[in-house]
Amino acid sequence: MTGPTSSPLRVAVDATPLLGARTGIGRFTAAVLEGLGRRPEAVAPRAYAATWRGRETWAEQLPPGVAAVTRPMPARPLRAAWRTLGRPAIEWWTGPVDVVHGTNFVVPPARRAAEVVTVHDLTAVHYPELCTPDVREYPDLLRRALDRGAWVHAVSAFVAGEVVRELGASPERVRAVPNGGPEPGPPGDPAAGRRLAGGDRYVLSLATVEPRKDHATLVRAFAEEALGGPLAGVLLVLAGAEGWGTDELDAALAHSPAIDRVVRLGWVDDEARASLLAGASALAYPSRYEGFGLPPLEAMAAGAPVVATAVGAVPEVVGDAALLVPPADAGALAEALRSVLLDGERADDLRRRGHARVKVFDWGRTVDGLVDLYRDAAR
């Protein structure tokens, strides 16, 4: 646990991921800011946002105890200047600070402040073809930050190792501090989840529609396991914002013999998300690569069995509380889903293991670990 200091650290935190539909990184940023706002004895957090379009509204999403830096920061020209010139420094917006924390792969250069950057995964290094042009800029920006002496917060031990191997970071400046689990909140309503799904039994996917999440393999696996027999009434529910994998998903659906049992909800709010999880027969998480993976923990907290791919940090996160299959293997994914849906004892065992596993991850410990990292970096 973090102990008291003589004066709180002044920490500037990038709150840009709070804008728009809340993704995993947005949830991470929100949880960190909320935790920092509750520690006035340790930190004095102020949030900035590299956005022009949201410049008048983004500060409304900040939790209590977090001040807003309201001077506008246009994202694209700033990122270009940081990449090519190494300036302007963040203090031009924030005033004097001890630490600047880039929560989403990019940390601005600073005059005097220590720089900390969160790395959620290295998709842009391994699978640039799966990334948008903005995301493909991350490795270069990260290397430049490392050259300036930035510290790295990795969301898993897996990512920490990758940052050292792939980006050449000094191991002494890379700190693995795991994400927390689902934030406590009102329990989801299973009946409401089933109404949203349109049926009593459904396999749920919670992910932005992007190639890395491999919705196409899930659609093929669902058709393989769902046709005929006792699973003929099971639905596949896809919940998540539309991304740059829409064409691949559309093509898979067009060729699916089970298309009439696929429900595509798009982005859903927190209440609907909780209810969908509470009513789900299983969560499918067939990613090709993950630096952490919060949806499996959300499912475990809600009592839904998890079937996931054994990629990246997923095994580190789920432990023995999920069925793991190889990536891009529709047959193996179908068999695992069939097992969970038909074998009640196996499903119940996964639920018990999931409830125990999710307790390992706590946002309070995450924020404590980050505050310790800030102090080490500021020294």
Note the pLDDT of residue 5: 47
**What percentage of the chain carries pLDDT values higher than 90?**
78
CA dist 132 to 3, 33, 129, 195, 244, Å? 41, 27, 8, 35, 8
Residue pLDDT, tens place only, 30-41:
999 999 999 999
Euclidean distance between CA atoms 296 and 304, whole angstroms? 9
Euclidean distance between CA atoms 218 and 331, whole angstroms? 10
For domain 9-180+362-378, give the fold.
Answer: Rossmann fold (3.40.50)
> Is the pLDDT at 132 greater than 90, yes or no?
no
Identity (one letter) of the amino acid at 7? S
Cβ–Cβ < 8 Å for 176, 157: yes
Residue 250 pLDDT class (50, 70, 90 cuts): very high
Class for domain 190-358, per CATH? alpha beta
Please spell the DSSP secondary structure of 316-371, one letter per residue. HHHTTSSEEE-TT-HHHHHHHHHHHHH-HHHHHHHHHHHHHHHTT--HHHHHHHHH
Residue 6 pLDDT class (50, 70, 90 cuts): low
Residue pLDDT, tens place only, 56-91:
788 889 999 999 998 888 878 888 888 888 889 999
> Is the pLDDT at 1 greater than 60, yes or no?
no
Euclidean distance between CA atoms 166 and 154, whole angstroms? 13
Euclidean distance between CA atoms 128 and 148, whole angstroms? 24
Euclidean distance between CA atoms 21 and 27, whole angstroms? 10
- Domain range summary for the chain, segments of one domain joined by +: 9-180+362-378, 190-358
**Domains 9-180+362-378 and 190-358 alike in fold:** yes
